[in-house]
Amino acid sequence: MKTTIIALLLGAASVFAAEPAKPAAELPPCCRPAVPLGKPTDKSLYLLDSKWTSDVGKTIPLSVLRGRPQVVAMFFSSCEYACPIIVNDMRTLEAKLPANVRAKTDFLLVSFDTKRDTVAALAAYRKKEKIPTANWTLLRGGEDDVRELAALLGINYSQDARGQFAHSNVITVLNAEGEIAFQQPGLNAAPTALVDAVAKAAKDAKR
Amino acid sequence: MATLPDGKYRPLFRGEKDAKEIAIASFQLDERPVTNGEFLGFVRENPKWQRSQVKRLFADERYLAHWAGDGDLGKADPAQPVTQVSWFAAKAFAAWSGKRLPSTAEWEFAAGAGFTNPDGTKEPEFQQAIAKWYGTPTPDVLPAAGSGKPNVHGLRDLHGLVWEWTSDFNSAIVTGDARGDTGLERNLFCGAGSLGAKDTGNFPAFMRFGMRSSLKAGYTVHNLGFRCAKDIPSK
């Protein structure tokens, strides 16, 4: 009981503390100040020490995303077929979330394409697709790190002769601790189960 | 390590527009799989990879379960290939040794070489030997790594001992439910599967493909080990 009250007080305090600062809405989730939350759990993806670069040019470990649920997909910006659909599925999901859940949920797109998806290419993709800045992170990484993250998300992929990537279509919900809370394979599926999973994960949001 | 020459690998499955062959640049490959003894040296120096210390994200509950303890092989023979290791652990061992895991294309290229002919498909004796292994269950007690007959490049036990991790084991585009995947190899499942394959007679290659596509990076399996590769230093 006591700890709950303290946690509530702390939570309230951090909200107040954050308010006078520059509006967080200007920065994508990757670039918000990290919150110290102790050691990640044994199943947390935030145990990874790989470094990633966002479309705003900042280099970060994934653990800076800790504290809020992340809806994650892997994509590549020159994709002709499935990626626009998977990004659309994520946007549909975002629109279906109740406002209080949406305010505590981030979205993360990580590129397969280590060569063509440069920082500039990702920034152009964000602009072209009108991807909101406030809660969407776009990341690129090194080949080994992309392969490793895909392996953790259970995503298989290979590049064909034309440079297109064949890949599994999976939307993953990471909870605030970075553990896989839910995965939805396939495209154009009704987002009901995803909405439920995100709403559940958002209850434990730490920021 | 053995040095493999430049060469070409013909993927088992490919898209209609893909090239028939992938060029393989000359590289080095361990002559035999990594052993229990060698892996023990690794976990002693890297406690976070010990059985009791490893994070669940990186290896499942059976990680090194056949050893007696963190620093004790127990009944496991130091000369046997190490098994019950996850992809993450294999990758970490390789990096610690200043090496890397071979890609699937590199591994298959190496494994396609016969005892006397760099193209094993042209050597009936080699084909019979590997078909025999793929039809035999794993023995309870694994033989020592390196006891198999060397192929033309001096590599042993690519067939006949344990399955081996590759760096891009997760490049096979299949899942239990193929609707979840997009792209070239969606025809893999069901009877039509082998139509997209280049060599329908190469049954062991299908088995390896199926084995890899069933794996997840944290899995540990009693007959799955690994060996390391290395780039040729640029001149």
Query: DSSP string spanning A182-200?
Result: EEEESSS--THHHHHHHHH
- A67 CA: distance to closest CA in chain B (Å): 19
Reported as a pLDDT band with limits 50, 70 and 90, residue B173 is low
pLDDT score recorded for residue B103:
95
Would an 8 Å CB–CB cutoff place A186 in contact with chain B? Answer: yes
Backbone angles phi and psi of B203, in degrees to 5: -60, -45
Write b or e for each residue in B125-155: b if 16 or more Cβ atoms lie within 10 A of its Cβ, otherwise e. ebbebbeeeeeeeeeeebbbbbebeebbbeb
- Residue range B196-205: average pLDDT? 64
Chain A residues 128-167 within an 8 A CB cutoff of chain B: 144, 147-148, 150-152, 154-158, 160-162, 164-167
pLDDT score recorded for residue B117:
94
Domain that holds residue B171: 2-32+98-231
List of chain B residues whose C-beta atoms are within 8 Å of the C-beta of residue A160: 15, 17-18, 183-184
A4 HSE (CA, 13 A, CB side):
1
pLDDT score recorded for residue A57:
86
Residues pairing with B202 in the sheet: none
Instruction: Give dist(CA A165, CA B51) in Å, integer.
Output: 36
pLDDT score recorded for residue A45:
97
Q: Is B151 a domain residue?
A: yes
List the helix and strand counts (H, then E) for chain B.
5, 7
| ipTM of the complex, rounded to two decimals | 0.83
Instruction: Give dist(CA A76, CA A139) in Å, integer.
Output: 10
Q: In the structure encoding, which two tokens stand for residue A14, read together?
A: 């951090």
Instruction: Report the SS3 class of residue A111.
Output: strand
Nearest CA in chain B to A80: B183
pLDDT score recorded for residue B206:
80
- Total structural domains within chain A: 1
- B112 neighbors B120 (Cβ within 8 angstroms): yes
DSSP string, B13-44: B--TTS-S-EEE--EEE-SSPPBHHHHHHHHH
List of chain B residues whose C-beta atoms are within 8 Å of the C-beta of residue A157: 170-171, 173
pLDDT score recorded for residue B15:
58
Q: Is A2 a domain residue?
A: no
Apex CA A51: angle with CA A46 and CA A56, to 5°?
Answer: 110
Reported as a pLDDT band with limits 50, 70 and 90, residue B133 is confident
- Residue range B158-187: average pLDDT? 68
Residue with tokens 């390590």: B1
Residues pairing with A165 in the sheet: A159
Q: Is A43 a domain residue?
A: yes
Q: In the structure encoding, which two tokens stand for residue B52, read together?
A: 């009791």
Which of B201, B231, B227 is CA-nearest to residue B34? B227
> CB A81 to CB B182 under 8 A?
yes
Q: Is B156 a domain residue?
A: yes
- Residue range B173-202: average pLDDT? 45
Q: Is B49 a domain residue?
A: no
pLDDT score recorded for residue B200:
56
List of chain B residues whose C-beta atoms are within 8 Å of the C-beta of residue A152: 57, 217
- Total structural domains within chain B: 1
Q: Is B162 a domain residue?
A: yes
Q: In the structure encoding, which two tokens stand for residue A140, read together?
A: 């690129």
List of chain A residues whose C-beta atoms are within 8 Å of the C-beta of residue B180: 168-170, 185-186
Q: Is A38 a domain residue?
A: yes
Q: Is A184 a domain residue?
A: yes
Nearest CA in chain A to B95: A144
> CB B177 to CB A168 under 8 A?
no
Q: Is B219 a domain residue?
A: yes
Would an 8 Å CB–CB cutoff place B145 in contact with chain A? Answer: no
Regarding predicted confidence, which is higher, A100 or B19?
A100
Instruction: Give A145-171 pLDDT, tens digit per residue.
Output: 999 999 999 988 888 777 788 888 899
Looking at residue A36, which CATH number applies to its domain?
Answer: 3.40.30.10
Instruction: Give dist(CA A18, CA B150) in Å, integer.
Output: 66
Average pLDDT per block of 10 residues along chain A, 207 residues long: 45 42 63 83 95 93 95 91 83 95 96 96 94 94 96 88 81 96 85 94 91
Q: Is A15 a domain residue?
A: no
Q: Is A92 a domain residue?
A: yes
Q: Is A99 a domain residue?
A: yes
Q: Is A105 a domain residue?
A: yes
Q: Work out the mean pLDDT of chain B and round it to a whole number.
A: 86
Single-letter residue type at A116? R
Q: Is B207 a domain residue?
A: yes
pLDDT score recorded for residue B137:
81
Would you tell me how many other CB atoms lie within 10 Å of the CB of residue B235? 3
Q: Is B28 a domain residue?
A: yes
Domain that holds residue A70: 25-202
Residue with tokens 């991807």: A131
Instruction: Report the SS3 class of residue A112.
Output: coil
Instruction: Give B77-88 pLDDT, tens digit per residue.
Output: 999 999 999 999
Interface test with B, best of A63, A144, A145, A158 (most B CBs within 10 A): A158
Candidates A81, A154, A165; nearest CB to B216: A154
- B217 neighbors B57 (Cβ within 8 angstroms): no
Chain B residues 4-63 within an 8 A CB cutoff of chain A: 15, 17-19, 55-58
pLDDT score recorded for residue A53:
97
